Amino acid sequence: MDKIVIEGGHQLEGDIQVSGAKNSAIKLMAVCLLTDELVTLTNMPRLRDTRSMAGLLEHMGVKVDAGEGSTMTLHAKSLTSTTAPYDLVRKMRASFNVLGPTLAREGAAKVSLPGGCAIGARPVDLHLKALEALGADIVLDEGYVIATAKNGLTGGEITFPFISVGATEHAVLAAVLAKGTTVLSNVAREPEIVDLANCLNAMGAKIEGAGRSEMTITGVSKLSGVEHAVVPDRIEAGTYALAAATAGGKVRLRGIRHDHLGSLWPLIAQAGAHVSMDENTVTIERDGGLIKPVDLDTQAYPGFPTDLQAQFMALMCLADGVSIIRENIFENRFMHCPELTRMGADITVTGREAIVRGVKALRGAQVMATDLRASASLIAAGLAAKGQTHVGRVYHLDRGFEHIEVKLGQCGAKISRVPE
């Protein structure tokens, strides 16, 4: 097992190329289950999660070629299994989303329940209710979801009681081959959902309203193959932007969709960093001046993303004053707070609210990553801290960041990966 070692106190200076979005890539891989033709995905990130998804798809009979670059081909000419076993699904919650497309194509699927999550329970009941609304018969048996639709899925009206990205994506993946029209209301509006819809439409699906609160899907009998570029990773981009603001210096992010982070840029500027952008780049610059306190509430898109809350908190740990951060999406998403406190941060957590009293400096320490985004916050804090920081359990980091130590190292960070 590896760890990341950071010698803090060095400003960042340079360019960082943003990779394809993890949260989009995994769901885009699942679209191959809906067609017997070749699916080619470009701008694919090379991550632990995409490898896990590839392993599951290969188990089901999909031929996957990840190659050496950022292109992946997937060919589900025929499926040899409609079962997704626990040992493969447990590695990554998003792999549960193979249920809908497999059911839509084959009329039956058996997928392990993914279980809990370090940042909250994240139940799949909304996923199952959506599939039932499309005509699926659902049985739970010994930790597995057994779904059947002997005569195929049929369109229906589904109103989600609260916004869920995963359930929205799952319903879309199932409804595209259903007979008739499906109307989804109170859906998630994330760019990754728009990316999924764009890919499916290029395959011959008929999806309208992606990016709005209501979507209409007219089912088709067959989808063709496709070549599709994964949308840039807004969470990776935001993470590096916040790292630059925290450590100081000047970093230019390349290959970015800045409109996907409209809630972040004003807050970074409010904290005292300068933000400038053009069509494909965003530059973050802070010359060492005081960081100002900023209050924050996480919200569903287009609000501030929960996946950047921990990284923003690392910035606020060095602010000249008090900031209040409220987590409205997931429970248990303040597990990075005790680790930041080990570095000298002053954080008080009560329920879903964290009061962050800025300190003059953070100190390097041995800390432990508790989840993917928490690990990124500890890296950002380590870049700004005095002395050496050791971040353990970085397998969390490898789930969602492609060569983070290389990208930061190219900007002058003193950071390395070593055996733990």
Contact 6, 379 (CB under 8 A): yes
What type of residue is 305? Answer: P
Task: Look at the block and give the residue holding tokens 């530059």.
Answer: 283
- Pair of tokens at residue 66: 């990840």
Going by C-alpha positions, the residue among 126, 149, 147 that lies closest to residue 138 is 147
Please give the backbone phi and psi of residue 286, each rounded to the nearest 5 degrees, phi first: -140, 125
Active-site annotation holder among 32, 117, 337, 411? 117
Annotated catalytic residue 411: no
Number of Cβ within 10 Å of residue 299's Cβ equals 15
Contact 51, 400 (CB under 8 A): no
Going by C-alpha positions, the residue among 144, 172, 146 that lies closest to residue 160 is 172
Q: 3-class SS at 3? A: strand
Q: How far apart are CA 394 and CA 235, in angstroms?
A: 17
Element (H, E) at 241: helix 234-247
Positions marked catalytic: 117
